[in-house]
Chains A and B, each alone.
Chain A
């Protein structure tokens, strides 16, 4: 019984560190902003840092905790972004207070992304490993492709949809909100650093609580040994779907932040394509698969890295690529791991290296 308590305390402390880290970073940045010690470049990166941290945390739930490789996370972000921006555009001229409108935007983004996550999850989660990866990638691309072709407008008679062009909407006056490849222009800029950090903390709270609950242990049991988990009566589909849906909802919230941070929203390959999904996966793997705190740290470091290297202009992405390869070799290659172990033993004497500090 004591052992359980010690374990619980350990988890509690670890979670506290994670929240403390985010709050401390927030306070530091706020102080820097108040005293004017912040470059405009960094200022512009604050919301994206929150967005990527949220996305990394959400993907880690699928990849790390549920053990499924998903390459379509940007698709959920896309859904969250477009549904919430549409809502904000519709309500822009109404008398609804801005705060409440944005609150509902976040809710709508999360719920619609969760809905699609659920819908996609039912068939997709039957597949395994690399097949699952390619199908999620395909879904991400389909979503991006459809959004790019979608025209949506509202007039007195109600909403109009078209996959052709704005002429096919048959609008009677009214406003066109989504203009195909041009996307949505003029969504209100409601995202800011404070809201981003609050949403990140909520995402962390949800995911960390889930992991340390009965449900979370069931999900991890399925990851570790599906057949054994099934034989003790766990409903595989239910738990996998649950993790996938929650993850999609959180990714949708990331999309909401993204949509309300820019004045124009378009579904481009670089923001909602598979490249973005891969980028998020890189954060998750670099931070440590299944390590939620690591995801946040990796997302922040790897988003800042190319910007900090901006002075090297053309070489920055090259350096980024080299760093990526070497980090992977250094942390995962058996030969390097032995080497590292030896250094650690040499440094700490008998202590076997303790926690790794990558």
Chain B
């Protein structure tokens, strides 16, 4: 029983990381209608920045986190302006390929600068593990912080979108770009802001991921990026609560499958669940049904 709870908590923690990354995916998708394949690599950049800020520059942890977020925000906005914005009217495949190009670019830049050798990432969470049930159950500080951070981010984001003018502008742009422009919404600014928020979240996701799994390589972001993408689709791409639910389901499922079924087949199990869910609900758990007009 205790081991089950422990697996479950680890799954929740991993799921929270997926959820944080998936939020960025889903927001960008909702507003720009593009699959930002470079999102996972922004996470990697966030990890490296935090690593340097903490270990080489000796900055305190909160400052290192902020620096990492700032760098990623800037990077996200720049990528959008340079690589995606000129292609806004082009077909979606060209943007997809450009995003893949950006992903290659970031990975190879990181490899040039930091080499392919893994860096051992020192945890950003100074909390000691909590022991419960007479020492039978140990919850690491990273687990607690990750789960709490995720909940804060999701509630913050939902409030931001529903209660502020900028958030409403985001909703408007994602619903109908043309109408939003006519209503005086600054579409370009809103899209930039979406990329900024998504990238800052990726930085947080990267730091939390590397704190829990402390190896950092130029391809660290690739697989979590894909998993987060799966999580976003599972929950219904474009929906913020959907990304949260999708991320949590994916993380828990992955950890439980690893523990109880087969460690080798956990990916296959996770992806199978995605397929089954999509076949039953083709737009994800919380996705909106798209009406088709003739």
Q: Are A146 and B268 in contact (CB under 8 A)?
A: yes
Q: Is B141 an interface residue (CB 8 A)?
A: no
Question: Residues of B contacting A286 with CB < 8 Å?
Answer: 97
Stretch from A83-91, A152-160, A195-203, A322-330 at the B interface: A322-330
CB nearest to A181 among chain B residues: B264
Q: How far is the CA of A124 from the CA of B274 in the complex (A)?
A: 12
Residues facing A in B91-127 (CB within 8 A) are 91-94, 96-98, 100-102, 104-105, 108-109, 111-112
Contact of A142 among B96, B97, B271, B294 (CB under 8 A): B271
Q: Are B91 and A332 in contact (CB under 8 A)?
A: yes
Residues facing A in B124-146 (CB within 8 A) are none
CB nearest to A286 among chain B residues: B97
B77-93 vs A, CB cutoff 8 Å, 1 = contact: the mask equals 00000010011011111
Q: How far is the CB of A171 from chain B (nearest CB, A)?
A: 20
Q: How far is the CA of A287 from the CA of B257 in the complex (A)?
A: 41
Q: Are A130 and B90 in contact (CB under 8 A)?
A: no
Answer whether A131 and B105 are a contact pair too, CB < 8 Å, given A142-B272, A148-B264, A227-B294: no
Stretch from A205-213, A244-252, A311-319 at the B interface: A311-319
Q: How far is the CB of A310 from chain B (nearest CB, A)?
A: 14
CB nearest to B115 among chain A residues: A314
Total interface residues on A, using CB and 8 Å? 51
Contact of A127 among B97, B109, B265, B278 (CB under 8 A): B278
Contact of B104 among A137, A138, A317 (CB under 8 A): A317
Please classify the interface of chain A as helix (H, G, I), strand (E, B), loop, or mixed, using the class held by over half of its residues: helix
Question: Residues of B contacting A336 with CB < 8 Å?
Answer: 86
Residues facing B in A66-123 (CB within 8 A) are 69, 123
Total interface residues on B, using CB and 8 Å? 46
Q: How far is the CA of A127 from the CA of B271 in the complex (A)?
A: 16
Q: Is A333 an interface residue (CB 8 A)?
A: yes
Q: Is A43 an interface residue (CB 8 A)?
A: no
Q: How far is the CA of A149 from the CA of B267 in the complex (A)?
A: 11
Contact of A134 among B104, B222, B229, B265 (CB under 8 A): B229
Q: Is A51 an interface residue (CB 8 A)?
A: no
Q: Are A325 and B98 in contact (CB under 8 A)?
A: yes
Q: How far is the CA of A22 from the CA of B102 in the complex (A)?
A: 32
CB nearest to B102 among chain A residues: A325
Answer whether A131 and B233 are a contact pair too, CB < 8 Å, given A145-B265, A227-B292: yes
Q: Are A318 and B108 in contact (CB under 8 A)?
A: yes
A211-232 vs B, CB cutoff 8 Å, 1 = contact: the mask equals 0000000000000000100000
Q: Is A63 an interface residue (CB 8 A)?
A: yes
Q: Is A173 an interface residue (CB 8 A)?
A: no
Q: Is B35 an interface residue (CB 8 A)?
A: yes
Residues facing A in B236-294 (CB within 8 A) are 237, 262, 264-265, 267-268, 271-272, 274-275, 278-279, 282-284, 292, 294
Question: Residues of A contacting B111 with CB < 8 Å?
Answer: 314, 317
Q: Are A314 and B100 in contact (CB under 8 A)?
A: no
Most A C-beta atoms less than 10 A away, residue of B229, B233, B268: B268
Q: Is B230 an interface residue (CB 8 A)?
A: yes
Q: Are A333 and B226 in contact (CB under 8 A)?
A: no
Question: Residues of A contacting B274 with CB < 8 Å?
Answer: 134-135, 138
Q: Are A163 and B35 in contact (CB under 8 A)?
A: no
Q: Are A332 and B268 in contact (CB under 8 A)?
A: no
Q: How far is the CA of A129 from the CA of B92 in the complex (A)?
A: 10
Q: Are A130 and B237 in contact (CB under 8 A)?
A: yes
Question: Residues of A contacting B29 with CB < 8 Å?
Answer: 130
Contact of A329 among B87, B275, B284 (CB under 8 A): B87
Stretch from A11-19, A26-34, A254-262, A274-282 at the B interface: A274-282
Residues facing B in A262-297 (CB within 8 A) are 274-275, 278, 281-282, 285-286, 289
Answer whether A289 and B108 are a contact pair too, CB < 8 Å, given A134-B274, A138-B275, A274-B226: no
CB nearest to B93 among chain A residues: A285
Q: Is A238 an interface residue (CB 8 A)?
A: no
Q: Are A135 and B275 in contact (CB under 8 A)?
A: yes
Q: Are A139 and B98 in contact (CB under 8 A)?
A: no
Q: Are B262 and A163 in contact (CB under 8 A)?
A: yes
CB nearest to B237 among chain A residues: A130
CB nearest to A331 among chain B residues: B94
CB nearest to B83 among chain A residues: A325
Q: Are A126 and B83 in contact (CB under 8 A)?
A: no
Q: How far is the CA of A134 from the CA of B279 in the complex (A)?
A: 12
CB nearest to A336 among chain B residues: B86
Q: Are B87 and A137 in contact (CB under 8 A)?
A: no
Q: How far is the CA of A41 from the CA of B112 in the complex (A)?
A: 24
Q: How far is the CB of B10 from chain A (nearest CB, A)?
A: 21
Question: Residues of A contacting B292 with CB < 8 Å?
Answer: 227
Q: Are A315 and B264 in contact (CB under 8 A)?
A: no
Binding site for A on B (CB under 8 A): 29, 35, 37, 83, 86-87, 89-94, 96-98, 100-102, 104-105, 108-109, 111-112, 222, 226, 229-230, 233, 237, 262, 264-265, 267-268, 271-272, 274-275, 278-279, 282-284, 292, 294
Top 5 closest pairs, chain A to chain B, by CB? A324-B101, A332-B94, A321-B104, A321-B105, A138-B271
Q: Sample 6 A-B pairs with CB under 8 A, ordered by A number.
A: A146-B268, A163-B262, A274-B226, A317-B104, A325-B102, A334-B86
10 additional contacts (CB under 8 A) given A131-B233, A278-B100: A69-B93, A134-B230, A141-B268, A285-B96, A318-B112, A320-B104, A321-B101, A324-B97, A328-B97, A329-B86
